[in-house]
C-alpha cells in the first residue's frame, strides 16, 4: 500500500505541475474530471485518489506562479502576482520574483502544521457560533474589495453579473457546473487576451538562491497578516487566497517582494487548510476538497495525518521542480512560442468542457468567457469575478 501511495503522490505532483504550467487548466477542472470518472477508478482504494488530489493541489500552488510571472497568464489563485511579478520581470528579475513566492509557499507548510491542531480543536465551535453571520461576513469582505477600487461602480457591476451567472449555473441542470464557470471566467478569457499580448522582457538574471533574501522588515510585514487573515479566510465559502492577500496588503502595506511572498504563502495555506476544514466542519472550501468529499464517505483522523504528510512531501518536491523550471524558462524566455502554447491550451479546455459538460454548460462557458474578457479589457480586477461563488454562498446561507 505504501508503494501505491507513493506512486499516487508522484503522479499528483506531475499533474499539479501540468496544471500549474498550463494557464486555464485548473486543478478544479482535473478534480471535476476525476469525480466524473469515478466509475473507471472504482477498483482503486479511495486513499489513493485522496493522496493524488492533495499532492496535485499543493503542487499547483507552488507552480502556478511561473506562467503568471513569466508569461502574464494567471489563474484566479495567482493573478494578484501579475503586477509585482511583471515589474521584476521587466527588470530582469523574474527568477528572483518566483523564488520569493516559493519562500512563501514553503513557509506556508509550517503555518499549516501549526494551524491544523488549532482547526481540529477550535473550528467546530467557532463555526457553530459564526455560522449565522457568515453571509454578512461575505458581504462585508466583498464590499471592502469592491469599494477599494477607483471605479467601484464597474467593480460592483462585474461582481453582480458574475454572481448572477454563478447562481444560475448552480441552479440549472448543468453537468459539472464548476467546470465551464471557472474555465470561462479565469481560463479561456485570459488565454484569449494573452494570444494578443506580446511582451519582450529583457535578459533575465539567474541569481543564486542563497543570495535571494527578504529583509527582516519585508518578512515581518508579510508573516503577521498570514497568521491573521489566511486561516480566517480558509473556512469562509467563496473566499480565496486573492481576498486574503488583498485584505492583508491593505492593512499591512507591502512592496513587490513582500507581496509576492505573501501571495505565495496565502495560496498554499488556504489550499492546505481547506482539507482540514472539510474534516472539522464537513464543508468543502475548494474544488479539491469537494472532490475528496465525493470520493470519501467519511474523513477520519488517519486521513488527516496522511493529508498532512502528503502536503509536506509534495510541497518540498514541488519547490525543487518549480525552481528548476523557472531557471530554465529564465534562460529561454525569449524563445518560447507562447501564442502557440496558448491556442493549444484553449482548445484542450474547450474539448474537455464539450466532453464532460452539456449544452447548458457550453452556454455558461461562452458567457463566462465573455464576462472574463470584459473584465480584463476594462482593467477591472478579476477578484470581482469571485462573485460567481460568493453570491451563491450568500444566498444559500440566507435561505438555509
> Residue 127 above 90 pLDDT?
no
Is the CB of residue 356 less than 8 Å from the CB of residue 32? yes
In angstroms, the CA 174 to CA 178 distance is: 9
Least confident of 71-80, 191-200, 271-280, 300-309: 71-80
In angstroms, the CA 161 to CA 9 distance is: 39
pLDDT tens, position by position, 287-345: 788 888 888 878 899 999 999 999 999 999 999 999 999 999 888 877 777 677 778 87
- 3-class DSSP string for the chain: CHHHHHHHHHHHHHHHHHHHHCCCCCHHHHHHHHHHCHHHHCCCCHHHHHHHHHHHHHHHHHHCHHHHHHHCCCCCCCHHHHHHHHHHHHCCCHHHHHHHHHHHHHHHHHHHHHHHHHHHHHHHHHHHHHHHHHHHHHHHHHHHHHHCCCCHHHHHHHHHHHHHHHHHHHHCCCCCCHHHHHHHHHHHHHHHHHHHCCCCCCCCCCCCHHHCCCCHHHHHHHHHHHHHHHHHHHCCCCCCHHHHHHHHHHHCCCCHHHHHHHHHHHHHHHHHHHHHHHHHHCCCCCHHHHHHHHHCCCCCHHHHHHHHHHHHHHHHHHHHHHHHHHHHHHHHHHHCCHHHHHHHHHHHHHHHHHHHCCHHHHHHHHHHHHHHHHHHHCCCCHHHHHHHHHHHHHHHHHHC
Is the CB of residue 151 less than 8 Å from the CB of residue 380? yes
Average pLDDT over residues 134-156: 88
| Cα of 257 vs its chain's centroid, Å | 20
Most confident of 205-209, 216-220, 271-275, 296-300: 271-275
Q: Which of 76, 165, 150 is nearest to 387 (CA)?
A: 165
pLDDT band at 247 (very low <50, low <70, confident <90, very high): confident
> Residue 80 above 80 pLDDT?
no
Average pLDDT, the chain: 84
pTM for this entry = 0.82
* CB crowding 325-352: b at 16 or more within 10 Å, else e: bbbebbeebeeeebeebbeebbeebbeb
Q: What value does the CA radius of gyration of the chain take, rounded to a whole number of Å?
A: 20
In angstroms, the CA 243 to CA 246 distance is: 5
Residues 6+ away with beta carbon under 8 Å from 18: 25
State the sign of the Cα–Cα–Cα–Cα dihedral 352, 370, 80, 347. positive
**pLDDT > 90: percent of the chain:** 34
Q: What is the pLDDT of residue 78?
A: 44
Which residue, chain included where needed, has cell 534562460? 331
Amino acid at each position: 500500500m505504501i508503494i501505491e501511495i507513493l506512486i499516487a503522490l508522484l503522479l499528483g505532483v506531475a499533474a499539479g505541475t501540468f496544471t500549474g504550467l498550463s494557464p486555464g487548466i485548473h486543478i478544479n477542472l482535473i478534480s471535476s474530471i476525476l469525480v466524473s470518472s469515478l466509475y473507471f477508478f472504482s477498483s482503486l482504494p479511495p486513499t489513493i485518489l485522496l493522496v493524488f488530489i492533495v499532492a496535485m493541489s499543493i503542487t499547483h500552488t507552488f507552480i502556478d506562479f511561473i506562467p503568471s510571472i513569466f508569461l502574464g497568464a494567471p489563474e484566479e489563485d495567482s493573478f494578484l502576482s501579475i503586477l509585482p511579478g511583471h515589474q521584476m520581470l521587466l527588470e530582469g528579475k523574474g527568477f528572483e520574483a518566483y523564488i520569493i513566492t516559493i519562500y512563501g509557499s514553503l513557509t506556508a507548510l509550517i503555518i499549516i502544521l501549526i494551524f491544523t491542531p488549532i482547526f481540529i480543536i477550535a473550528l467546530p465551535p467557532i463555526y457553530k457560533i459564526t455560522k449565522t453571520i457568515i453571509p454578512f461576513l461575505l458581504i462585508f469582505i466583498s464590499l471592502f474589495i469592491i469599494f477599494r477600487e477607483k471605479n467601484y461602480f464597474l467593480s460592483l457591476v462585474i461582481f453582480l453579473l458574475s454572481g448572477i451567472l454563478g447562481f444560475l449555473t448552480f441552479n440549472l441542470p448543468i453537468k459539472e457546473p464548476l467546470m465551464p464557470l471557472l474555465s470561462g471566467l479565469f481560463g479561456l478569457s485570459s488565454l484569449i487576451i494573452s494570444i494578443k499580448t506580446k511582451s519582450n522582457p529583457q535578459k533575465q538574471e539567474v541569481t543564486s538562491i542563497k543570495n535571494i533574501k527578504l529583509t527582516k522588515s519585508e518578512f515581518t510585514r508579510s508573516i503577521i497578516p498570514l497568521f491573521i487573515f489566511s486561516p480566517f479566510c480558509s473556512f469562509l465559502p467563496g473566499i480565496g487566497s486573492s481576498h486574503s492577500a488583498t485584505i492583508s496588503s491593505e492593512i499591512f502595506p507591502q512592496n513587490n517582494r513582500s507581496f509576492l511572498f505573501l501571495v505565495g504563502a496565502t495560496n498554499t495555506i488556504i489550499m492546505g487548510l481547506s482539507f482540514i476544514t472539510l474534516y472539522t466542519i464537513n464543508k468543502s472550501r475548494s474544488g479539491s476538497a469537494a472532490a475528496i468529499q465525493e470520493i470519501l464517505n467519511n474523513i477520519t483522523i488517519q486521513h488527516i495525518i496522511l493529508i498532512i504528510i502528503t502536503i509536506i512531501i509534495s510541497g518540498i518536491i514541488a519547490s525543487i521542480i518549480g525552481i528548476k523550471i523557472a531557471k530554465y524558462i529564465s534562460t529561454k524566455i525569449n524563445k518560447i512560442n507562447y501564442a502557440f502554447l496558448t491556442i493549444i491550451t484553449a482548445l484542450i479546455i474547450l474539448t474537455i468542457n464539450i466532453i464532460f459538460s452539456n449544452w447548458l454548460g457550453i452556454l455558461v462557458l461562452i458567457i463566462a468567457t465573455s464576462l472574463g474578457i470584459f473584465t480584463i479589457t476594462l482593467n477591472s480586477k478579476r477578484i470581482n469575478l469571485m462573485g460567481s461563488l460568493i453570491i451563491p454562498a450568500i444566498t444559500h446561507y440566507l435561505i438555509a
